[in-house]
Every structure is written in structure tokens, then in C-alpha cells.
Structure 1
Amino acid sequence: MLPDPHSLSGPLDPAPEAGWTDAPPRMGFFTDTSVCIGCKACEVACKEWNDVPGSGLDLLGMSYDNTGALTANSWRHVAFVEQPRPAGTQDPPGRTGGPEFLGMPGAQPPGRVGGAEGRTDFRWLMMSDVCKHCTHAACLDVCPTGSLFRTEFGTVVVQEDICNGCGYCISACPYGVIDQRKGDGRAWKCTLCYDRIGAGNVPACAQACPTESIQYGPLDELRERAAARVATLHERGVPEARLYGHDPADGVGGDGAFFLLLDEPEVYGLPPDPVVTTRDLPKMWKRAGVAALAMAAAAVAAFVGGSS
């Protein structure tokens, strides 16, 4: 069902909207980039559990990022952003001092970045990116085979066995998440480990994350936890901390996978104002229908007038 453009300003529980009765709480990811250490354990765990093929060694020349983006063969992508340190900023509690964030002793002193004592001229921004499992998912709207479906947990999954490789979902995604596999042609993306969460387990990436940067749970609880984390960082002198994708009033109705960022979304390769790409289709179809009726009426009038 295409989204009602007037409903995009309000919260929506997508599983009941999709027809699930007695649906469990909506589940999702909260990724706290302030404690991501770039270990790529999430990437490896995702590949191992979901049997995602490797992409080979790809030296992109982009810092230590060897995957580059979310693709059919990379359902998790850990971005490494190296930038000059903005004036007046410092590493958030948990980045240089991961043990501090986890409530353990042994936090490193401020200024020790990447193991280089006293280096304060640059900083790393790291983020494990993933499918956003949008509330209003354009990929679902355009799929002609029903390969994409909404689960009872509110997530979006591709059934690759009935995907015909048309690629409509790829152009419809406002985040550029979905991709076609070379030599295969079908669409692939994160399933939020539908098989694992259906059995009551944590998704592989969150299970493997050593710093709890990737957190999984009921979406409402994650949003509360994320707001508290941002407030804590602001109190500790990290005013640039902000949330991305958490707002049900945004252009996609809020994401099932949202993030705490330490800079503007564009720095991480995220669109600043994502909008469900199919939001105007109902209006377009209505106008097309009216135009078709007008043309049909004009044709009938011309035929009647010409025969009289």
C-alpha cells in the first residue's frame, strides 16, 4: 500500500499497518557512533551469519575503509571519516576512553587518538551503516513481485527467491541502500537478521559489537536510550552530538535503524533530509486518472459530434 502523504507527519506502527495482527513491539537498531572503534566485527559477523559473499580485497584509498558503501555484498558498512579536529572539540567519553563508557577503569587521557599520544590535530569519525528499515518504505511500494515485505517486527526484508531483478527498489530507496549482486541480478540488503530475531536472538552485528555501539531492541526503548545518551554527551562537553533518523515526523516517518552522529549527516554520507520517494504517487495517479477520463470524454464527444 502506498503511504498517505498526509500521514507522514505522524507516528506509524508499520507492522499493524501492513496487516500483522497482535504484532510484537517494533524492533530496530540504535547505532551510537561516539563509541564505534572501527573494528568491523559487525561486518564480519553479518557476512558469516547471512552467508554474504566477500567482495575481495579492494584498496579504495579512503583511510582504512575497504568496503566503501553498502552493497549487495556488504550489508553493514563501517565508514572511516578522517577530518581536522573542529576547534574546541574533544573526543566524547567512550571514544578515547571506551572503558569509561562501559563503566570500567582504564580510560585513556584526552588527546590520545588512534594510539598517538598527544595528537589533537585530527579525529576519526566512525559509523557502522545499515539499511534503515524505514517506516514509510518506498522499496515496498514499487516492488512488483512482493519480494520485499514488512515483517511482524516492523522491519523490511527481501525474499530473494521471488525477486525478478527489476531494480525498481534500488532507485526508490532514498538512502541508496539496496543493491543488485553482479552475476545474480537480484536485490540484497540487511534483513535485521529476521531468522535470529524471530527465534528471540540478537542480530549478529549487535551481538558481535564489542563496545555496544550497535544496540538492538524495541524501538521506543532505543529512542529513549538515545535521547539520554545525547543529553549525557552534551553535559560532558560534546555539543555536536545529535540523532539522525529517530524522528517519526521526518520524510520517511522515522527509521527502524537510527544513529547518534558527531557531525552533519553529509559527513557520513547520509542524506540530510531523506524523503520517501513514492510519497507523490497517489496524487500523480489521481491526476492521471482524471486526465484519462477527460480524454475519454473528449473522444466520445468528438465521435458523437462527428456522427451527427
Structure 2
Amino acid sequence: MLIDVSRCIGCWWCYAACKNYNNLPEAIQPEKEDPPELAENTWSTLFTFQDENGKWGSRKHACMHCKEASCELVCPTGAISHQGAAVVIDQEWCIGCGYCIQACPFGIPHKDEHTGTARKCTFCTERINNGEIPACADACPTGAIQFGTRDSLLEEAKERVHALKDSGYSNANLYGETESGGLHVMYVLTDDPSEQGLPEEPGVATNNTWVKWVSGVIASVIVATVPFWFIFKRKSRLKAASGK
């Protein structure tokens, strides 16, 4: 996926399409001055900013679907995995430990207090498997969100950055080609990443202390509790089904 900030008009159609397709409840009416933050029931939002001239800009913000996903690397149960380009959380295997939430350099996963599991953007894997494109890209009226092969989008992104520089955006840049091992959601930015809500150098779990922290005794204890977790979840479902 390629998101061109210069083409985003802040219409919120991507936000609404995500809510609609994933049957996520709408809690507020989004406003550019106070956009909703990502949450267990908000998987896509807009990061809004003002340039030096006071003009508002927007950047769609959701899971980056990293090639080297820190969330996947620290997950002790294998609940997080790649399905093609998408990084997905298997709700049946997630035990709600929260390691993915703490490890993600972009602040993407959030814990659902009702299910006890971590949730985030799925990259609309069902749509992709059916030959469709993600709901957000399908809804975008300006072409700011495009979906295709990573190589073709990289080529287009570099051309757009060059065009933006020629038109006066001296700080225009491509974000996601190499960050976190390469992102499957890349950006054409009109300014430095930090000015548009992105970390300049997002880390990967293998390069910091997270893997060490999750490994060893702590991970062993968590894995040992997995069978009991599934028993508990099964009992909860049976209880809910019986109405008791």
C-alpha cells in the first residue's frame, strides 16, 4: 500500500470504510483538530498536522504491516504471523499479554478489555483473498491510498517524491522502503517524518531488549498457561451460549 500525504484531503472516507467493513462501533464524529486515536475498535484514523503556513494536512494512520514486525517477534504464543504482506493477530491464540503493544514502534495494537486480546488493522485479508483491495483504498476518492505490488508502488513513490521536490516541497521523502526492515504500508511525505507523526528511525525487536525480556522464564511461564487459557475461553463461550 502507498499513501501520498500530498493527495489526502482529510475526508475521513478511509476511516468510515474501515469501521463499516470491520463492523467496528463509531464513538465520535472525527474532527481534524482532534482526530480519534487508534484503539481496540478504531483500527484506522488520520494524523493531522499544520504546516508552517498554517495549512492543515492529513496522513492515514494504521498498521504498517512491517516485513520485520516487532509484534510478531515478541509474541510468545505465535498468535501474530504474516499472511502474505499482512501481519495478523489470531484471536484464538492471543492471550492478551500485551508484549506486542509495548514492542510496536508505531503504537498500533490495542487490547480489547472485553475479549482480552490485542486487536488492530488486518489489511483486509479476506478482501485481498477474494481479489479485492482493502476497504480504505477502495473508498479513497483522490487516489491518496493505492494498493498493489510493493515493487511497483516503490517505483511510483520515488517518482512522486521527485515531483514534489520539483514543486517546492524540499523535504519530501519516501517513508517505509527500509524502515523496520521495510513496510508494506509506505508513505510519500511532504515533510520530515517527525513532522507528520512518524518515528524517524523505528526500531525492530531483535535490535533491542524486547526479545531478551520475552524469552527465558517469562515466555516459558506464558506458554505453559496457554492450554488453561483455551479451556477458560471455551468455558466462557459455553456459558455465554447457555445464557447462564
**2:92 corresponding residue in structure 1:** 161
**Contact persistence 2:14–2:137 (CA under 8 A):** yes
Distance 1:124 1:281 in 2: 38
Distance 1:48 1:270 in 2: 26
Give the TM-score of the pair, scaled to structure 2: 0.81
Distance 1:51 1:155 in 2: 19
Residue 70 (structure 1) aligned with residue 38 (structure 2): yes
Residue 57 (structure 1) aligned with residue 28 (structure 2): yes
Q: Secondary structure at the match of 2:92?
A: helix
Which amino acid letter does the alignment assign opposite residue 202 of structure 2? P
Greater gyration radius = 1
**Contact persistence 1:148–1:157 (CA under 8 A):** yes
Residue 276 (structure 1) aligned with residue 207 (structure 2): no
Shift of 1:267: 2.0
Q: Secondary structure at the match of 2:3?
A: strand
Choose which of 263, 266, 271 in structure 1 pairs with 2:191: 263
Structure 2 alignment gaps of length 5 or more: 217-244
Residue 44 (structure 1) aligned with residue 16 (structure 2): yes
Give the TM-score of the pair, scaled to structure 1: 0.65
Choose which of 20, 35, 51 in structure 1 pairs with 2:7: 35
Distance 2:77 2:116 in 1: 15
**Contact persistence 2:35–2:48 (CA under 8 A):** no
Q: Secondary structure at the match of 2:205?
A: coil
Structure 1 alignment gaps of length 5 or more: 1-28, 86-121, 289-308
Distance 2:210 2:92 in 1: 29
Residue 150 (structure 1) aligned with residue 82 (structure 2): yes
Q: Secondary structure at the match of 1:183?
A: coil
**Contact persistence 1:172–1:278 (CA under 8 A):** no
Residues 284, 187 of structure 1: CA spacing in aligned structure 2 closer, same or farther, 3 A cutoff? closer
Distance 1:165 1:223 in 2: 35
**Which segments of structure 1 move beyond 6 Å, counting only runs of 4 or more?**
none
**1:124 corresponding residue in structure 2:** 56
Distance 1:147 1:239 in 2: 42
Q: Secondary structure at the match of 2:191?
A: coil
Residue 79 (structure 1) aligned with residue 51 (structure 2): no
**Contact persistence 1:42–1:204 (CA under 8 A):** yes
Shift of 1:269: 2.1
Deviations 1:146-174 (A, max 9, x none): 221111x2220111232111111101111
Residues 184, 283 of structure 1: CA spacing in aligned structure 2 closer, same or farther, 3 A cutoff? closer
For the aligned residue pairs, the C-alpha RMSD in angstroms reads 2.2
Which amino acid letter does the alignment assign opposite residue 51 of structure 1? N
**1:189 corresponding residue in structure 2:** 120
Which amino acid letter does the alignment assign opposite residue 101 of structure 2? I
Q: Percent identity, aligned pairs only? A: 39
Distance 1:257 1:39 in 2: 20
Deviations 1:228-247 (A, max 9, x none): 11111222222221111122
Distance 2:25 2:177 in 1: 31
Choose which of 132, 135, 148 in structure 1 pairs with 2:67: 135
Deviations 1:84-132 (A, max 9, x none): 32xxxxxxxxxxxxxxxxxxxxxxxxxxxxxxxxxxxx21121111111
**Contact persistence 1:65–1:79 (CA under 8 A):** no
**1:227 corresponding residue in structure 2:** 158
Distance 1:66 1:233 in 2: 26
Which amino acid letter does the alignment assign opposite residue 190 of structure 2? L
Deviations 1:1-33 (A, max 9, x none): xxxxxxxxxxxxxxxxxxxxxxxxxxxx11000
Tell me the number of residue pairs that the alignment of Structure 1 and Structure 2 aligns.
214
Higher helix share: 2
Residues 84, 136 of structure 1: CA spacing in aligned structure 2 closer, same or farther, 3 A cutoff? same
